[in-house]
Structure 1
Amino acid sequence: MSEAKLREEIARFARSLFERGLTPGSSGNISVRLDDGGWLVTPTNASLGFLDPARISRLDADGRLVGGDAPTKEIPLHAALYETRGSARAIVHLHSTHSVAVSMLPEIDANNVLPPLTAYSVMRVGRTALVPYYRPGDPAVADAIRGLAGRYSAVLLANHGPVVAGDTLEAAVYATEELEETAKLHLLTRGLNPRLLSPAQVRDLVAHFKLEPWPEGEHGHDHDH
């Protein structure tokens, strides 16, 4: 896909996310990695609902701005995820309400934030890690992401929001939306002892769709239904 088309796609997806209330105000950012190693990334203090494709930031392979407006301050976050997730070609970071709410819960497992509630949460998102709170734009968050060693395509930043990588922009957007819906389901069913997918059902999804393994003992309730 040409760079001009990618710029249009970023603006189109970003507006859709904004208009559905998935990231308010000027929050959230999106990046796409280009074939030459550079990136397209949404500008700082820009609303995802009103992006001008021509003003989207263009960075070279060394992260230097070579065109467009100044980029989001979350560049270290994106860079660390690209560095450790070799297959990643796009990253979406939102401040979506339910995902942020889950990131604040005291009982969540930092290595596996959300249980396997639905097939699509396993298929599109997989396991989600929790990264401790850092000031937005703090370069230290990059070290925390690197510490995950590329094992996760979806990460929740505590008291901040989700960061999701995909092999295409479309895949990253859809996975981020699925994460938000799973977080919403988790909050709706919290304390109600919901029936989760069993380990056998998760293994079946992993095998059938050739997904990254979901380690045994991290599936939730081991029962059939």
Structure 2
Amino acid sequence: MLYELERREMCRIVKSMFDRWTTNVAGGNLSAKVDEGIFIMTPTLMSEEQLWNPNPEGILVVDKDLNIIEGVGKLTREINMHMAIYHTDKRVNAVIHAHPKEMMAFATMGIDMPLVCENVGKLGEAFPCLPYAPAVSEELANAVTTFIKEEILPTGVQPPYGALLRGHGVILAGDGLASTNNILERLEINAYTYVQSIALQSAGFKYDHK
């Protein structure tokens, strides 16, 4: 089997994501660069039909022209968003698109998520939400490309980075699947923590880190 270790690792991560509510049965997809011009990625309908529990043979091996070299299933319809990221930022080796339970509130409202937890401080003061574009559309892929060209590359931000997708979910780009999933988890905990802290403040509690 081609890239067996990498495909097994992707299976391990996607199952963890589903088990930990950082995505849901409604969708999401992962990809990773495993060689020059070669990528592995989750197939379409994996979330709905396999409940985020694929076997390694079901992870697709794809070339830069989107020809399936090995694997069972069809390409995700959101492949255009993934490839737009790889083409725009050559530093990226992994992309995760997910529908995290807590972050979906911010994506649905279309607001930047304040970053209040120390372990996401390197991402800045807020995690941005991009303007609405229809799911799986070229417009959405273009919106992500524009974000990288205008907000990431000129400022020297290093992967992993990402953004909320208005009404849709989150997109993250990193230097590897494990580290990108790490940031996903941290951001999801931040979303939960922020909302709960607002409730505590409304009850009269005040935060003082000193």
Normalised-by-shorter TM-score class:
0.7 to 0.9
Does the 8 A contact of 2:109 with 2:167 survive in 1?
A: no
Partner of 1:45: 45
Higher relative contact order (CA 8 A, sep 6+): 2
Query: SS where residue 173 of structure 1 aligns?
Result: helix
Moved over 3 A (4+): 190-196
State the distance in 1 between where 2:61 and 2:128 align. Answer: 29
Query: SS where residue 46 of structure 2 aligns?
Result: coil
TM-score calculated relative to the size of structure 1: 0.76
Gapped regions of structure 2 (runs ≥ 5): none
Partner of 2:22: 22
TM-score calculated relative to the size of structure 2: 0.81
Partner of 2:113: 114
Percent identity over the alignment? 27
Does the 8 A contact of 1:38 with 1:63 survive in 2?
A: no
Gapped regions of structure 1 (runs ≥ 5): 197-223
Does the 8 A contact of 1:37 with 1:60 survive in 2?
A: yes
State the distance in 2 between where 1:56 and 1:139 align. Answer: 24
Cα root mean square deviation, aligned: 2.3
State the distance in 2 between where 1:26 and 1:115 align. Answer: 25
Partner of 1:131: 130
Partner of 1:67: 70
Any idea what the Cα deviations from partners look like across 1:122-172, whole Å, max 9, x if unmatched? Answer: 23x445321222222111111101111161721100111111111111001
Partner of 2:164: 156
Query: SS where residue 147 of structure 1 aligns?
Result: helix
Number of residue pairs the alignment of both structures matches = 191
Does residue 183 of the first structure (1) align with residue 191 of the second (2)?
Answer: yes
Identify, as 1 or 2, the structure richer in strand.
Answer: 2
